[in-house]
Amino acid sequence: MVKIITTTQELQELRGKLKRAAGFVPTMGNLHAGHLSLLQQALQEYDEVFFSIFVNPKQFGPNEDFGKYPRTLTQDLELIQSVLAGRPDKAVYVFAPTDPSEIFPAGYDSSISVCGLSHWLEGKVRPGHFEGVATVVYRLFELIKPERAYFGLKDYQQYLVIRQMVRDLCLPVQIIGMPIIREAEGLALSSRNQYLSPEQRKQALVLFESLQKVAHTLNGKKANLDQARDMIRELIQDPNWDYLELRDAENLSPDLNTSQRVTLLGVYRMGTTRLLDNLQLELA
Ligand code: AMP
């Protein structure tokens, strides 16, 4: 069963009636197989799953794509329905507020800032972005009270920011990080991929290929770090990189001396579209 909810009042009434623990998948809609993988995992663990579709104005900068971000609710609901086909024991409650004031009522004036993690990499290029993300996710957690919430590792820094917020504020929710779903050739699925022309889509493969090249050079060994960093320096001669960096996978520190796991994060610009990707790597 899929039930759509558009107001906060309706959401709270429903949540009050459901006594069992529930899973939660927050999204901005325009669903693809990456989003659906989160839903599938949540449905494996819970009979009742909340799924939000909300293009959050607070996480977009003034010159970003908030206005043109794809909004495809009818198609999204069909995809959710298809995941539920043949599973009468499961329920998905889709919270898709039609008006942002359902989430941020007039006068709402609080913001959550996860200090260190939010200001590097993506946060440096998009000031205020992670405050917007943390604030909406906190608000959704508060309304939905999930036992577990599912996030894609595609947005690795976002995953770390949310995990840190949950730890610091002692929120009673477990954060589950889910693997990146890619197209066959390697491009990570993203709602923004549809901004790309067929030619740009081909060129965009440089992002995943570069991540793989660096990972191959690193080959899991601290002894190869200098070589991997040299390769990164060479790759970012291409001015389309916003960044390509090796960071500690737990805290995003650039100091990898004591790191056991690292993340290689990159953002490559194709025209005005920013494509994010990362790899998680062991380091011995
Ligand atoms: P978005 O709608 O872009 O805000 O994404 C909602 C959730 O889906 C976030 O937790 C994303 O990390 C996750 N997600 C987006 N793309 C992918 C992907 N290709 N693979 C796995 N998860 C993804």
- Which amino acid makes up residue 251? N
Residue pLDDT, tens place only, 163-192: 999 999 999 999 999 999 999 999 999 999
Q: What is d(CA 207, CA 275) in angstroms, rounded to the nearest whole number?
A: 8
Which residues does 59 contact at the CB level (< 8 Å), separation at least 6? 129, 130, 132, 133, 136
pTM of the model: 0.97
CB neighbour list of residue 16: distance below 8 Å, 6 or more residues apart? none
Q: Tell me the two tokens of residue 37.
A: 């993988």
Sign of CA dihedral 63, 154, 235, 243: positive
CB 79, CB 31: distance < 8 Å: yes
* Centroid of ligand 1 to alpha carbon of 34 (angstroms): 6
- What does the chain come to in residues? 284
Cα 105 to ligand 1 centre (Å) = 26
Question: Residue with the nearest Cα to atom 5 of ligand 1?
Answer: 27
Ligand 1 atom closest to Cα of residue 189: 19
Instruction: Please give the positions annotated as active site.
Output: 35
pLDDT tens sequence across 247-269 = 999 999 999 999 999 999 999 99
In the chain, alpha helices (H): 8-17, 33-45, 73-84, 121-125, 129-144, 156-168, 198-203, 205-218, 225-235
Q: Which of the listed residues 38, 76, 175 should we mutate to test ligand 1's pocket, taking the one with most ligand atoms within 8 A of CB?
A: 38
Low-confidence ranges of the chain (pLDDT < 50): none
Q: Percentage of the chain with pLDDT > 70?
A: 100
The answer to whether 234 and 202 are in contact (CB under 8 A) is: no
Q: Which whole-number Å values give the CA distances from 108 to 102, 114, 135, 200, in the listed order?
A: 11, 19, 11, 40
Q: Rounded distance, CA 1 to CA 51, Å?
A: 13
What 3-state class would DSSP assign to 266?
strand
Question: What's the pLDDT at 207?
Answer: 98
Q: Tell me the pLDDT tens digit for each residue of 194-221.
A: 999 999 999 999 999 999 999 999 999 9
Q: Which residue's alpha carbon is nearest to atom 14 within ligand 1?
A: 152
